[in-house]
Structures are given as structure tokens and as C-alpha cells.
Structure 1
Amino acid sequence: MAWRTAVIASLALLVVGVAAQGTNYKCRMGPDASHAACGLPFELANFQGNFECNDATKVGRPANIADLQALVALYPRVKASGVGHSWWKEQFCSGNDTRSVNVVLTEQKAVLDFMGAPTDPQQWVGRQVPADFPVQVNEADEEVTVAAGVTQRVLLDYLSEYKYWKQRSGWTLPAFSWFLDQTIGGAISTATHGSTMKYGSLSAQLRRLKMVLANGTLLELSPKTNPHLFMAAGAAVGRLGVVTEVTLKIKPQQAIQRRLQELSFEQFAKQIKDTQDAYVQAKQANDVDAMRRALFQVDETQVFWALPTSSVQRVDYEHLDHEPLAVMLNAMPSGEPMVQAMSGPEDDAYKQVEKKAVAANSRMTLNSRFWSNLYVTQLRNKVAPGTFESRKAFLSMSDSETQTTSTFAPYDQYEVVIPIDRAGSCLMEVGKEVYGNDKLWEGARTPFLVRFVTEEDLYLSPTTDGPAMYINLEDYVTRSSNSPNLQFQRIMQLFRQRCGARLHWGKAGWPQHAKCFKGSVEYPTTWCHFGCAVMELDPTGKFNSEWDGWKWQATQGGKPVPYSACCTSKGFSPACTCAPRTDC
């Protein structure tokens, strides 16, 4: 623990000047995406100032990894934070008292410098990239190592300009998300995704990661060094430790053709039902190639469903080298070609600085058709067909759009995950209710964003047991009307109850739609494997957060047994049964 002694001696210097910080600071999202609405890094709230933690909870702003290790070792309750792209207080907050601290990973000096003034990689021509620079590109192995506090947008922009050495077209991540102004650490922790039946979520694109454990030590994991812990840590929602660094696959940029279909909702639902039927038939026949051909129909597909007008903009992509059999049934290397269902450190922790949240916008409560048409009109240039380089071809929010939407009106973002083998049936059934007598479509303002992701082996990935359709939906009414958006919540209820949808780990809806979460039921093949990783890495519950769903039980021969007795170095023992919680 020599590192801790040195840190304790130096951390006192870190508080100088903090008291002078005002409340007009901006989020750490990069120069053109930052705005003044967010709470972090001085108040524990999301990027619009909502979902606030208890005022007693401390906010930690470590300037380097050693400071971070000291804070984690010191506090009984810890949670990592980035820029606050979260809508779930119970998972976001480390606790509700002075023994709790949220550590903000954007405040490490190297990260803060880079995010404040992103570097053009051309400056490294003829010289070595500094070892402490937060982005390290390895062209030979086609991978990038990046500090957890760097946002996805800044990373992608840096990679696209990394073209002065081996790859003249620059580099990109194989698949990235719609919202880019989230830290890489947060994106990995929640299995954030784009739309791909080949590469999976950002978590599935992981090659290695480092994280600080409950005792303050640093652990590096890869699929080779410890497959069990890697599959747990790759999408752990911050439950196992604080991710500090990740190494991701990268690929050369290439020309990609974007195509647009303008459809009715009924036409789109029929398309997905056809994909569903083809996939199910191939799966039942154990025909791997036919399964791939079925999934290829929605590979990289991005869809905007405007509920008030029952219209759909479907965007697909064409690569010169992309054939149906290039689709992967499982994004993880070990998963193919399976056919089955698939005073001291305390000086670096501070009291929060109070800041007002984004104000209600009463206009959002009126005329759903107007708002839907407005957003669809704004999308037209974005979805226009044409040929573009990878970074520009795949759809994502621009930095100016992040600024505008973040401050225009408060909203809560939800996301549901529906297995591909019932995705089309789900759309048809939910559609009947949406356009039925209750006019549920009136609860929508922005188009629902639909994407598709292949299976991946990570224990808490929503596609851990098979490919799925993701639907991202936003409630702009509740916070501006100060009353529940009942039509919107009914749509969420339909997805959960009739389609068996899982919820995204970083988004809204858990208190309403997963009140008594039973992991052994929702993640039947992997929940208890993850529980064994928790027993090994965080037995005291330091990273437990405020959520009451982190619970595991086991039986053997029909009788309860101590959970630890069922854990092995490879995960949960097949001699035991993963049992549902019984306290609710």
C-alpha cells in the first residue's frame, strides 16, 4: 500500500480553488456538446439535473488512478459516474449518507485536458504518443486503449483523424451508439449499443479492461486471463468495481452506402415478422447459415417510428465486403457457432454543489402530432441516402443536437429489449393497442428509435441468450406536466408484460416496471454466474448502489444452501439451482 501513503500526502493539494467553483460550469462532454444543464461533476444528478442523489452523498473527483484507488479503499459505498447519462437514481447513486461517494471519472487530469481541447493526432507524426495520453491506438492489433472518462464522440473523432501512419482512411469503432456524449466507461458498464448483428454492443467489442476493486487494487481482465470474471465485468453496471480503462476493437473507415425506406408502421411490423419467422424456422432446423441470413435482414438497421402518424423511416446500410454469412450469431469469439438459445483521500471528496435542473416546458404537453412531425422533419437530412465514410454514415446525434435536446425540455429515456424470435409479433400486438381506442400514440413526442443487436456472452447483456430488437422511447410529458404520462406508461407495460421485454440497465422504468426484480427469472442462464463474480470481487457490497435488486439465492436438491457454496472459479456450479428471491 505504498501508493496509498504517497497519495494521502499529496491529496490535500487537490482542494485548492474548489470553493471558488460556481454553478455555471458545463458538462464534460467535449467543447461542442457541453451545456450548463447537468449536475456533474459537482452535483450528483443526471445530465439534465434530475435523479439527484441524497445531499449527504459525497462527490469524488480524483485527478489520477492513485487518487481513485485511495477513495475507493476509504469509503464503504462507492459508485462510478461519468457525465450523468442516466435515468435511474437507485443505480446511479452510491448511497444516501456521508459514508457514500460517487467518483467522477472525467476529472482525471489527462482526461480533462483532452476533453477540453481534443487533440489532432497529426501532432504525433514523428514523435511518440505520451504514455499518459488517454487514447492509445494500436494499428497492428487493430485496437484502441482509452481512459474510461473519455466520451464516445471524442474517441470516434480522434480515431477518424488517425490517418497519418498505417491506415490513411482513419479508424472507427465497429459499431457505435446513437447518443455519443456518454463516457466510454459508462457505455461499457451498461452494454450501450448501436445496431449490428455482427459486432454486438460496445461491451462485446471489448478486448481488455482495467478496474479498481473494493480494496483499492487494480485488476486487468481479458477473455483469456479469466473468462468468467471478464464476462461479468464486461457489462457490470458498476457492480463489481470502477472501470478505469478499456481496450476496444477498431476497424478501418470505409465507404458505406446508406439507404432509406419510408414505410407505414404496418409495413415495418410485417418486415420484422418475416425476419422473426425466418430466424425461428432456421433455429428449429439447426441451420446456422439460414439463421445468419435471417439476421442479415436487420443487420445495422436503424428505424425511427413516429407514433402519431403511424409512419416509419427505416435506414439500412450496404458495404462492398458485407455478405449475409458475415453476420455473427454471437458477437463474442467463444460464442460462435452455437445454435442453442442464445484527511487524506477524503480531501478528494467534496460536498455537492446545488444546481437547478432543466425547467419544465409546458409546450411539450400539447399536440403530439406537431412535435412528432417537427422531429421527423429534422431527421430528414440525417437519414438521407448516399455514400459516406463509416463515421458519418451510421446515424448518431450531433454535438449541437445534444446541446439543444439537453436544455430544451426535461425528459426520461426508456429502452426495452425484445428477443428477435418474437419481435415482429410484439410489434403487431403492441401496435393494435397503440392505435386502438385509447390512442396510446398521444403519449409520444419524439420518434421511437428501433435497433437490432446480436447475441453476446456477457452475463448482464440484454442479449446474453439471443439476438434482440431494442426500442428506445422518451417521455417528454411527465416532467413538463407534473403528472404521469399514462398513455406512454401503458406502452411500456405492454412491452414488458406481453413481449417479455428486458429493460436497459442505464435507463428509466425500473421502479415502475421492474419493482421486484428477480434476476434468476429475467436472466435465467447467467444471473447466478454474475452473483458469483460479486461474491469474489465485492463480498461486502461496496458497489451495491441504492438498488435492492442485487440479490442471489441458491438451492441444491430442492433445499436452500449458502450461495457461496455454489460458486466456483468458473462461475455458478451446475450442481446448484439459481433460485428466485422470496422477499417480495
Structure 2
Amino acid sequence: MQTIDLLRYLGNYVTQLSPTGYTLPAFPWFVYQTIGGAVSTGSHGSSLAWGSLSNQLLGVTMVLANGTLRTFTPETDPFLMRAVRVAVGQLGIITNLRFRLIKEQPVQRFLQSLSSSSFLKLMETAQQQYTSNQTMPSWLNETEFFWITQDSEFLMVSCTRGDVSSPETRHEVLASFNMPDNTTMYNTSWQLLQDPVLNCLDALPLNHSAHFGPDGLGALAQDYTGALLNTFINAPLPQLIISTYSNNSATLKAGQAVEAAEVLKPLVAELSFHEGSDGHERRRSLQKLHDQQLTVKNRRLFQTSAATARQRVMQADSDDGDASHSATENATGGYFEHDHGGITNASNGDPYAGLLSMDEAVALGNNWDIPPKKDALAYYAAPNMAEALISISRAGVLSIASNNTPEAHESYLYQPDALLDNIRTVRYDQYEVAVPVSTMGDCFKGLLDMVYEGDIDSLNETQKAKVKGFRTAPLIRVLGQEDGLLAYTGDVPRIFVNVEDYIFYNAGEQINTAFKAVMAHLRSSPACGNTGLEGAGGRLHWGKAGWPDAGCWHGDKEYPHTWCDFGCAKMYLDPTNKFADSAPDRWTWEGVDLASCCSMDKGFLREKAGCSCNVKHERNVSSCPPSPYYTNR
């Protein structure tokens, strides 16, 4: 058992920094979020067996509205534990979380390319199995899909653990595992070999062809990733193309974006990965692209290194004449806190050598300021760059998800930290909708038919060239049923569609029509679920974008079976509504007699006369905007 800081990022516990020999069973793609926040919003990976982070909790300790400290567990508080698993900050302040950890083990990872029609067939088959016997196919557990929208392709990443029950499968996984020198597994592999037929690790035909680098990648993938990051992320593509900085503005003019896009688009196309393609040929394409970018005149890097940030801080000190305490904006949108009185960890006489990030400064007691709005980058909104940016997204998936058998914490996918600066620089919104597996085939059929206008494999080149509203590959994952009252899968297992809108902000806050149509389908089509404002569509992620206009999200319709149960927990733990947030229209039980209809042990007593979870709302569907019910995006 290890005590951890809830304000630290989840990445400290599921990457190479995780507790030696152990790992969380399943974790989200984006691990650079605080652990407390990740649990409060039901953050998740792709696991039918283990579920979300909230589902993996063994206990939660919170400061309640009355100032007392209370620990909840499934054994001591079975009903209230269901409420605090996904509390969205409504029930108290989390001070301690107890997770279930499992021992490290080899996990075999497979990467496959599917056409849209092949992907749809998989979804329809899984839906049919679930509606027939309420089970899911084993291949779907821990499987993720990346939707390469411009190419009508789905990259399927599936994983097989080394502790599966089948001796044959276990043998296959272990035989492909090449234990790295810096393993955290100890002798876990020996413990997996319980079958008498496989009683000696030395007898296994171990595959020594895999090479593990610092990021756990195979040799070719690692080389390719390095070139990719140096070319696309750490230098030229989003940065070297960004603006002539006229009048010290970081905004790229639309004409410049289109010009740069036309120069680079054919070169980016050369990076498309095909089975059996030669690694040297790809690297030559990368080098060619890099050389071409160097010819783009009057460009400068938008993202700055810490050294450049220090120079800016010192220049600001020189200009202001008073450097006793100030916060200087970093180009990535964050802050470096500096204080000659000792807030920095100075070294070698450089008072800026240990500049603290905003979150580190806040943890030390400094006030948190709302970060300034970032500049729009018209490059991301240029219509002719959709294919190029999606190709980059595809290349990134290929570089981290290649066929391999590393340890669990390296096999399951998470956001590479090398991309963080880019993510924090570019303005975008991330949305996610959870669709019941009982209708997921129908939902994806309608979605693909809409996006590709009936030609779901884009056999027509004209259709392939049309912009689909995306600049990154949507991520598709699955979760098994959970018991949290506000868990997305509290009723049935669901498949999650994570999408990102890079166009709205970077096009001067112009509506991304194609993207919004996707959200409308996911949120209101009967094929995508039977909950929501109009009794149809999937559920929104608690911690992401896409929330409807005020008054147009009704909890009793989104969570019809558990909303008033959560209201009972809210009444018990926060009777004065001390933890009310900025959206009181969502957290309402107006018109429901919670005082008479709630039980501390059972929640909302629906069977009791006069107890109906019908909440009174100020707005109804006729006064709300059409699906997806928001107007500001």
C-alpha cells in the first residue's frame, strides 16, 4: 500500500514511475490529470472486467459539509459508496483514495487495420451477442479503436494478459515476452506458469527480437517515433508553420496557413504506413519533410523551452524594474512562478533554474489565476489540412501501439508525455459520449452513413476528400457495467466515443458544422441510447465538453434509474448544498420529496406511495436548442 498525493498526476502511478512490481488494472488514455479529479468524473480506459478508475476504488475518505472526516467502503457504507464513486465534487472533498493494484505481467498487444465496414461488422456482431445473452465477446475486453476519419479506417488495438485461464494462450503471451533489464515484474512470470505443462520458464521459446527503449517501444517504432516527434511535434509542423508574428501576434493568418499547408500536404502523405513498408523509406520521407519545412521563411517556434521562458522572465524583470514577485506567461499557456525570495529551486546562481509550473506553485500555497486565453492557430482550421493532420494522428498511433509484448503498464496505451506541450498549446475541446452496447452497432451504422454519406469505405475519391470535421483520430473504448450511481455504465456496459474539435477556436469561433452533426447523432439518436432530454442518445462524460445550455440537461432523464438515489446521498452528506457548483440547473431535485422518499441504506424508495423521480425543470425540450442542445460551440 502506498500513500499518494491526490493533486499529483495519474501518470505518476501507471507509467515507469509506478509502484515497483504493481500497476492499476486499467487506466485512462490521458494520465496527466489529477487522481482526485479523475476519480470524481469516472475517468476510464477500456476494460469490461475492471471498469473505470472509480470502479476500482476500495475506499474513499472525504471531508464532509459539516467538517467531519469520513471513510466510505463497500462493506461499511454499501449505498453511500455507490454515490461517492462518481461524485463530481458534489458530496465532499476527497482526501484519500484506496485503489486495487495488481502485479505486473506480460501483456501481448496486437494492432490491426480495419475498413469501416469491417469495424461496423464487429460492432453489429457484439451488439447481437449482448442482446441475445447479455454477454460481450472476449475480444472486446481491453480493446481500443482509433478512427482515422479521412481514410475510412479503424486501427484496432487489442491486448491479452499473461494470466488468462487458457494454458495455450498463456504460453503464447509468455513466449513472446522479452523481459527488459529494468523490469518491475520480479518473478511474476513464474507465478503465471501454474499449469503443469508449463512449469519452467526456461523451457519457453522466448522471443529475443524485441528491443525495449526508454519508452518501451520496439527498435523500429522507437526510431520512427523519435523522427516523428522531432519533425511534427517538438519542432516544425504545428510550430514552425505558425506565423510570421507580425505585430508580436502569435496568430497565424488564414492565407499563411493555407500556403504552408499546400507545401507540406503531399510530403505528409508519404508518411502513410503500410504493412511491410521499409523503415528507411519512411525516415527518408520524414527527413525530406523536415528539410522542406526549413525552407519556410520568417517562421519561428511557438512553443518555447524552459530556457526561452527564463529569458522572457528575466527580460520582464528588466523591463519592469521590480522582480520581487511576479508570474510570467509561458508560450504554452501555463505559468512559471518566480520569486527571488525563494519560491524557485535556484541552482548555479540562476534564480530561474527551478521555475515552478502553475500547479506546483498552487500546491505550495500561491493563489491560482485563470490562465489567459490562448491565441487561435488558423493552421489547425485550414480545410486543406484535415488529411495531413489525421495522417499525423495515425502515425502517432502506429508508433505507440505496434505489436509487442511488454509489461502491463507499457502495453496499455496512454498519452505520450512528449505530446503534452502541443496539447497545452493548441486550443480545442474534447467530448465523449457513452453509448449502450445493446445498440452500438445501430449507432455506428447511422454515424458512418452520415459522415460518409452512405459510402462508408470511401471507395469514391470525392467522398474521401471531403472534410469530416476532425483533426485527430476519435478514440473508441468500452466499459463493463458498474454500480456507481452516476457511473456511465450503471445500467449496461457502454462503448465510448471520444472526439475533439480543433476547428471552433482556431477558426475564430466558427461552428464546426460537421463535428456538431456527429455530436447531435450521438446525443439524440434512438440508435445511440434511450436516455437524455428527448429520451434518446448517449451520455456525456462528466469531465469533458459538450454540456447543453443552462436548463437543457435533466439528470432524471439522463440517469432515470439512479438520479434520485444520488439526490438522497446529496441530502444526507451535504444538506445545506455547501458544495454547489457553477451549474445549479443540473444538480436539482425540485419537486421530489427526498425527505420522505429516501432511505439511508436503500436510497430512493420508488415503491413507496407518492415517491416518483420526476424533477421540475425551468426549461423543456421545446425551449432548448436542437441536439446536441448547446449554442456556444
Structure 1 position 544 matched with structure 2 position 588:
no
Which one-letter code corresponds to 1:353 in the other structure? D
Q: Distance in 2 between matches of 1:546 and 1:536?
A: 21
Q: How far does residue 323 in structure 1 lie from its aligned partner after superposition? A: 4.9
The question of 1:362 aligning with 2:394 is answered no
Question: Which residue is equivalent to 1:181?
Answer: 32
Q: Which residue of 2 aligns with 1:398?
A: 416
Aligned to 2:6: 148
Within a 5 Å distance, the mapping from 1:68-87 to structure 2 comes to none
Q: How does 1:547-562 map to 2 (within 5 A)?
A: 547=583, 548-553=585-590, 562=593
* Alignment-derived partner of residue 314 in structure 1: 156
Structure 2 match to 1:255:
106
Which amino acid is 1:411 matched to? Y
What letter corresponds to residue 461 of structure 1 in structure 2?
A
**1:487 is matched with which residue?**
514
| SS at structure 2 position matched to 1:388 | coil
Q: Deviations over 1:127-165 (max 9, x none)?
A: xxxxxxxxxx2xxxxxx5533212110122476452xxx
2:389 aligned partner: 371
Kindly tell me: are residues 583 and 218 of structure 1, through their superposed partners in 2, closer, same or farther at Cα, counting changes over 3 Å? same
Instruction: Specify the code of the residue in structure 2 equivalent to 1:566.
Output: C
Q: 1:204 is matched with which residue?
A: 55
Match of 2:615 in 1: 580
For the Cα contact (< 8 Å) 2:434–2:488, is it kept in 1?
yes
1:386 alignment partner, one of 404, 422, 427: 404
Alpha-carbon distance in 1 for matches of 2:24, 2:16: 11
Mapped contact 1:440–1:488 kept (Cα < 8 A): no
1:351–1:394 distance in 2 versus 1, CA, 3 Å:
closer
Q: Secondary structure at the match of 2:418?
A: helix
Residue of structure 1 aligned with 2:429, choices 412, 434, 450:
412
Does the CA-based 8 Å contact 1:413-1:508 persist in structure 2? yes
List runs of 5+ in structure 2 lacking aligned partners.
Answer: 170-363, 455-462, 529-536, 620-633
Identity over aligned residues, as a percent? Answer: 36
1:176-214 deviation per Cα after TM superposition (whole angstroms, max 9, x unaligned): 010000111001000100000100100000000111111
- Counterpart in the other structure of 2:130: 279
**Which residue type is aligned with residue 568 of structure 1?**
S
Pairwise CA distance, 1:553: 4.4
Conserved 8 A contact 2:591-2:616:
no
Find the counterpart in structure 1 of residue 478 from structure 2: 452
Q: 1:218 to 1:297 in 2, by over 3 A?
A: same
Which residue matches 1:505?
542
Work out whether 1:236 is the aligned partner of 2:92. no
Q: CA deviation at 1:511?
A: 2.6
- Aligned mate of 2:468, from 436, 439, 442: 442
Decide whether the 8 Å contact of 2:470 with 2:501 is kept in 1. Answer: yes
Q: For structure 1, which segment, 566-575 or 297-306, has the greater mean C-alpha deviation from structure 2 after superposition?
A: 566-575
Q: State which of 443, 454, 468 in structure 1 corresponds to 2:494.
A: 468
Trace 1:86-165 onto structure 2 (pairs within 5 A).
137=1, 144-157=2-15, 160-162=18-20
> 1:562-582: per-residue Cα shift (whole Å, max 9, x none)?
321111112111312211333
Letter in structure 2 aligned against 1:393: S
* Shift of residue 440, structure 1, vs aligned partner: 8.0
1:441, 1:176 → 2: CA distance? 32
- The 1:349–1:156 alpha-carbon spacing in structure 2 relative to 1, beyond 3 Å, is closer
Contact between 2:12 and 2:18, CA under 8 Å: does it hold in 1?
Answer: no
- Relative to structure 1, is the Cα distance of residues 281 and 569 closer, same or farther in structure 2, using a 3 angstrom cutoff? same
The amino acid of 1:389's aligned partner reads E
1:563 maps onto 2:594 in alignment: yes
* Aligned CA-pair RMSD: 2.1
Distance in 2 separating the partners of 1:320 and 1:545: 44
- Equivalent position amino acid for 1:313 in 2: L
Deviation at 1:428, TM superposition (A): 0.7
Change in Cα spacing, 1:161 to 1:531, as seen in structure 2 (3 Å) is closer
Q: Which range moved further: 432-441 or 569-578?
A: 432-441
Q: How far off is 1:237 after superposition?
A: 0.4
AA in 2 matched with 1:527: W
| Alpha-carbon shift at residue 303 of structure 1 (Å) | 0.7
Structure 2 CA distance for aligned equivalents of residues 153 and 457 of structure 1: 26
Shift of 1:351: 6.1
Please give the alpha-carbon distance, in whole angstroms, between the structure 2 residues aligned to 1:468 and 1:383.
23
Distance 1:352 1:208, change over 3 A: closer
User: Paired residues, what number?
Assistant: 396
Going from structure 1 to structure 2, the CA distance change for 1:440 and 1:234 (only over 3 Å counts) comes to farther
Residues 42 and 54 in structure 2, CA contact (< 8 A), matched pair in contact too: yes
Q: Which amino acid aligns with 2:615?
A: P
Q: Secondary structure at the match of 1:410?
A: coil
- Structure 2 vs 1, CA of residues 533 and 440 (structure 1 numbering), >3 Å: closer, same or farther? farther
Question: How does 1:337-348 map onto structure 2 within 5 Å?
Answer: none
Q: Check whether the contact 1:440–1:491 (CA below 8 A) recurs between aligned residues.
A: no
Residue in structure 2 matching 1:529, options 547, 565, 573: 565
The 1:354/1:572 distance shift into structure 2, 3 A limit, reads: closer
Look up the SS of the partner of 1:207 in the other structure: strand
Residue deviations 1:475-501, cap 9 Å, x none?
000011121111111100000111111
Distance 1:312 1:524, change over 3 A: same
2:442 corresponds to 1:425? yes
8 A Cα contact 2:88 2:542, kept in partner: yes
TM-score computed with the length of structure 1 as normaliser: 0.65
CA distance in 2, matches of 1:354, 1:418: 34
Question: More displaced, 199-208 or 434-443?
Answer: 434-443
Aligned equivalents of 1:312, 1:413: Cα separation in 2: 19
Q: Tell me the TM-score normalised to structure 2 length.
A: 0.60
Match for 1:412: what amino acid? D
| Residue-by-residue CA offset, 1:237-294 (whole Å, 9 max, x unaligned) | 00111111100000001011101110112211110110110111113xxxxxxx1xx2
The whole-number CA distance in structure 1 between the counterparts of 2:15 and 2:438 is: 36
3-state SS, counterpart of residue 440 of structure 2: helix
Quote the Cα distance in structure 2 between the aligned partners of 1:441 and 1:577. Answer: 47
Distance 1:229 1:582 in 2: 26
Change beyond 3 A, Cα 1:355–1:569? closer
Alpha carbons 1:203, 1:234 under 8 Å: kept: yes
Mark the CA change 1:353 to 1:192 in structure 2 (over 3 Å): closer, same or farther: closer
Partner of 1:341: none
In structure 2, the partner of 1:123 is: none
Which deviations, in whole Å up to 9, do the C-alpha atoms of 1:208-249 show, x marking residues without a partner?
011111122211111111111111011010011111110000
Provide the C-alpha distance between the structure 2 equivalents of 1:566 and 1:216, rounded to a whole number of angstroms: 26
Structure 1: gaps spanning 5 or more residues: 1-136, 138-143, 163-169, 284-290, 327-347, 556-561
Name the counterpart of 1:126. none
- Answer whether contact 1:147 1:246 (CA < 8 A) is retained: no
Q: In the alignment, residue 312 of structure 1 is paired with which amino acid? A: F
Is the CA contact (8 Å cut-off) linking 1:440 and 1:490 kept in structure 2? no
**1:469 shift after superposition:** 0.2
CA distance in 2, matches of 1:230, 1:488: 37
